[in-house]
Structure 1
Amino acid sequence: MDRTILHCDMNSFFASVELLSHPELKHVPMAVSGSPENRHGIILAKNELAKQYGIVTAETIWSAKKKCPDLKLVPPHHEQYKRYSKLINEIYYRFTDMVEPFSIDESWLDVTASLKLFGSGKEIADTIRKTVKSELGLTLSAGVSYNKIFAKMGSEYKKPDATTVISRENYQAILWPQDVNQMFFVGTATAEKLRKTGIRTIGELAQSDKSLLRALLGKHGDMLYDYANGLDDSPVSHCYEKQKIKSVGNGITFKRNLTTMNDIQTALMALCSTVSARLRKYQMKATGVKVDIKDPYFKTISRQKQLDASTNITEEIYAAALELIAVSWSIGNPIRLLTITGINLVDENEQEQLSFFHEREEIRKKGESLDRAMDAIRSKFGGQSITFGGMINNDLGLDIHDNEESEESDSE
């Protein structure tokens, strides 16, 4: 028997929450944006009227204003978004305890065991949409399918405030004609690679030679072939099941561009200190480090490397990140945004092979002891009570260990 899975995706979530406090903006183009003063001047979310002007998330305020000079801007209120996200998921729990949040504004629900109580998958989705709208004043789009991937793609198919059913009988008619970049997990670079081999639609992806996709994209090619053909049996997690964290990162858009090695080292130490502290908080270690760099013209590169040993030590994450930047970025070229991420995480208590280099192990122990001592001081006296000397009175906008305000990217 097939499962019945819903994917519920809030419509223009940040903007819709802001409109609850600013009803006067309901019938004009509006967007939630960062502050131009500290160079977070990008669009974070927009309402449906702003979308009609071609305004997209992550473009600059300057660009958005060129498209729509009358665009109304409001600052973000992240605590409100978290509060409404919790309220929305509490509505989902009325229908099933199999609820798996995918982000702050979207969740998967497995309602297979709830069909006799609440009706078909489509009926449940429609009831949820009506309930969220009547109780919270917000709208969502829902996808209904027999697997998570097609449910997710169903919620994207028709917006706003709609339900789309993607079944074994109709998925080829609905999904296969779409451009390949509409396939879940196909990004811009992957789509370009596929197009160069003549694969332009999801249907052509599904009917491709699997060995060709594997040669082109590695394991990712196998996965995309399966997903395009509806071969996904991944479960929806129980609401009480703790999600395994896959990566821990932190990124900052700086008040001014990084242009010197000293700038980079100062910024790196702040970011790596925060990432390592979060890893220790979660009792995890990273076996790899990833660096994302964006310049003032929004050109972005991403580089990563595996480590010789798993770690949550600031100095080791810093050394790996600095090495990646040194070999992949021309020092002197300006950096607008920098993100450091610990990847491929393992439990910090996982047994590692002992090193024959006793001296190196002693250095690692000292580094870990220092980090944990700083953790204890910050826990008792506050996040800013102790820091590294290079970050005092910096003009980059660094504010480490302020987890609520930083652009953290912990991924589950």
Structure 2
Amino acid sequence: MDRVIFHCDLNSFYASVELLSHPELRHKPVAVCGDPASRHGIILAKNEPAKAFQVKTAETIWQAKRKCPDLVLLPAHHGLYRELSRKVNSLYHDYTDLVEPFGIDESWLDVTGTLHLFGGDAKALADHLRDEVRSRFGLTISVGVSFNKVFAKLGSDYKKPDATTVITRETFQSMVWPLPVTDLLYVGRAAAQTFQKFGIHTIGDLATFDREQLFSLLGKNGAQLHDFASGADHSPVAPAGQYTPPKSIGNGYTFPKNLQGRDEVKAGVSQLADQVAVRLRKHGMMCQGISLAIRSPEFRDISRQMRLDPPTDLARELTQSAMELADCCWNMANPVRALTVTAIYLLPAEAAGTQLDLFSADRDKKRQRLERLEEAMDVIRAKYGAGAIAPASAPRDPKQERHAPPPGGGM
């Protein structure tokens, strides 16, 4: 028997939450944005009237205002979003214990084992969920219903806002295959560019393309995307509270002022690499690759990645590798607005440790000292806060700095 998977997507979540406090703006174009004064002036979310003016998430405020001069801008309240997200997911738990959040505003639900308790009609249950979210929280959701997670997500995107879309084995080819291949989950820019070269424009083109050739083009990811397009996604919905190891760990930052010269770029990379290394150790992971993205003041982006051997969770090694990428792809005479450092190809630290021991019976003493140093820094952060200690070269943002309390904990 096929599974019954829901994908529930809170419509225009940030904007919808803000409009709960501003009902008089409901029919006007509204966007939630970051702080322009700190150079984070981008659109975080927009409501349906703003979408009609082609206002897009992640574009700058001035670009959005050029499209829609009457756009109303509201500040973000992230704590409120997290609280409402928690409450909505708690409601989902009333219908199944298999609830897997996908970001703050989306969740998958596997109702295969509980559907009979609610009448046995998947579409009727999805419609009921929409009514419940609207009546309890004043928010709307779009729900995709299908036999796997990938098509359920496509269903929630198929018609918005406040809609239910059912995609079955009998209808997925007619409904899904004509859609652009970029609509498919996990088809990023690099994969889309590769697909374009081989005439793959729609999800149907991808599904009917030779799977072995896709494997040779994109490796395991290519074969997996072919399975997604063909309806062969069998990935489970993770039970509530189950830990799912991350597939990548990254940190990005738009700096208060443009970075000028290699020393400043290295300082920015060092700051981000340190944050990534801390998160790697927190998850008990090491990375076998690193990715660096650089953004210019004109919002032109360039991204490069490389494999690492041996795997690492050390900030200094991540910084060194990221700077190798920067030196190869960036003219250091040009200013840098933003950087993103991402650890990729992750594996558990125990497995990485075994691999290191196999290839290096006598671990490098310098590396051991680095490990002890960064472990000590982790202890300080755990006691006094994330900002208590950082690389000496890191660019400082006074609004983000924290300070360790003096001995005795007094102020």
TM-score, normalized by length of structure 1?
0.91
Q: Letter of the 1:311 partner, please give it.
A: T
Report which stretch shifted further, 134-143 or 302-311: 302-311
Contact 2:274 2:391 in 1 (8 A): no
How far the C-alpha of 1:397 sits from its partner, in A, is 6.9
Helix, strand or coil at the partner of 1:128: helix
Report which stretch shifted further, 220-229 or 367-376: 220-229
Q: CA distance change for structure 1 residues 380 and 152 in 2, over 3 Å: closer, same or farther?
A: same
Contact 1:5 1:110 in 2 (8 A): yes
Contact 1:145 1:151 in 2 (8 A): yes
Residue aligning to 2:69: 69
Contact 2:155 2:167 in 1 (8 A): yes
Residue aligning to 1:369: 372
Residue aligning to 1:50: 50
Contact 2:314 2:371 in 1 (8 A): yes
For 1:106 and 1:301, the matched residues in 2 are separated by 29
How far the C-alpha of 1:50 sits from its partner, in A, is 0.3
Q: CA distance change for structure 1 residues 330 and 163 in 2, over 3 Å: closer, same or farther?
A: same
Residue aligning to 1:142: 143
How far the C-alpha of 1:164 sits from its partner, in A, is 0.3
Q: Letter of the 2:366 partner, please give it.
A: I
Contact 1:267 1:398 in 2 (8 A): no
Which whole-Å deviations, capped at 9, do the CAs of 1:116-174 have from their partners, x for residues lacking one?
10132212211111111100111110000011111110000000000000001111121
Contact 1:5 1:145 in 2 (8 A): yes
How far the C-alpha of 1:399 sits from its partner, in A, is 4.1
Contact 1:8 1:108 in 2 (8 A): yes
Q: Letter of the 2:370 partner, please give it.
A: G
- Does residue 92 of structure 2 align to residue 92 of structure 1? yes
For 2:179 and 2:389, the matched residues in 1 are separated by 53
Residue aligning to 1:289: 290
Report which stretch shifted further, 211-220 or 273-282: 211-220
For 1:191 and 1:306, the matched residues in 2 are separated by 22
- Does residue 355 of structure 2 align to residue 352 of structure 1? yes
For 2:75 and 2:48, the matched residues in 1 are separated by 18
Q: CA distance change for structure 1 residues 222 and 397 in 2, over 3 Å: closer, same or farther?
A: farther
Contact 1:289 1:341 in 2 (8 A): yes
For 1:127 and 1:60, the matched residues in 2 are separated by 37
Helix, strand or coil at the partner of 1:86: helix
- Does residue 251 of structure 2 align to residue 250 of structure 1? yes
Helix, strand or coil at the partner of 1:203: helix
Which whole-Å deviations, capped at 9, do the CAs of 1:6-27 have from their partners, x for residues lacking one?
1111100111111112222212
For 2:331 and 2:361, the matched residues in 1 are separated by 34
Task: Give 1:223-372 correspondences, 5 Å limit.
Answer: 223-350=224-351, 351-354=354-357, 356=360, 358=362, 361-372=364-375
Residue aligning to 2:409: none
How far the C-alpha of 1:330 sits from its partner, in A, is 1.6
Q: CA distance change for structure 1 residues 201 and 308 in 2, over 3 Å: closer, same or farther?
A: closer
Which whole-Å deviations, capped at 9, do the CAs of 1:15-65 have from their partners, x for residues lacking one?
111111222221211101111111111111100110000001011101000
For 1:352 and 1:209, the matched residues in 2 are separated by 35
Ranked by relative contact order (alpha carbons within 8 Å, sequence separation 6 or more), the top structure is 1
Q: Letter of the 1:63 partner, please give it.
A: Q
Q: CA distance change for structure 1 residues 269 and 145 in 2, over 3 Å: closer, same or farther?
A: same
For 2:364 and 2:399, the matched residues in 1 are separated by 31
Residue aligning to 1:381: 384
Q: Percent identity?
A: 49
Report which stretch shifted further, 157-166 or 215-224: 215-224
Helix, strand or coil at the partner of 1:131: helix
Q: CA distance change for structure 1 residues 270 and 41 in 2, over 3 Å: closer, same or farther?
A: same
Report which stretch shifted further, 10-19 or 373-382: 373-382
Q: CA distance change for structure 1 residues 228 and 291 in 2, over 3 Å: closer, same or farther?
A: same
Any stretches of 5+ residues in structure 1 without a counterpart? 403-412
Helix, strand or coil at the partner of 1:195: helix
Q: Letter of the 1:268 partner, please give it.
A: V
For 2:180 and 2:381, the matched residues in 1 are separated by 50
Residue aligning to 1:22: 22
How far the C-alpha of 1:310 sits from its partner, in A, is 2.1
Contact 1:279 1:312 in 2 (8 A): yes
Which whole-Å deviations, capped at 9, do the CAs of 1:275-315 have from their partners, x for residues lacking one?
11222222222222211111122222222222222222221
Contact 1:257 1:336 in 2 (8 A): yes
For 2:196 and 2:247, the matched residues in 1 are separated by 30
RMSD: 2.1
Contact 2:215 2:222 in 1 (8 A): yes
Q: Letter of the 1:363 partner, please give it.
A: K
Report which stretch shifted further, 107-116 or 339-348: 339-348
Which whole-Å deviations, capped at 9, do the CAs of 1:53-109 have from their partners, x for residues lacking one?
000101110100001111111111111111111111101100000111111111111
Task: Give 1:117-196 correspondences, 5 Å limit.
Answer: 117-119=117-119, 120-196=121-197
Contact 1:145 1:165 in 2 (8 A): yes
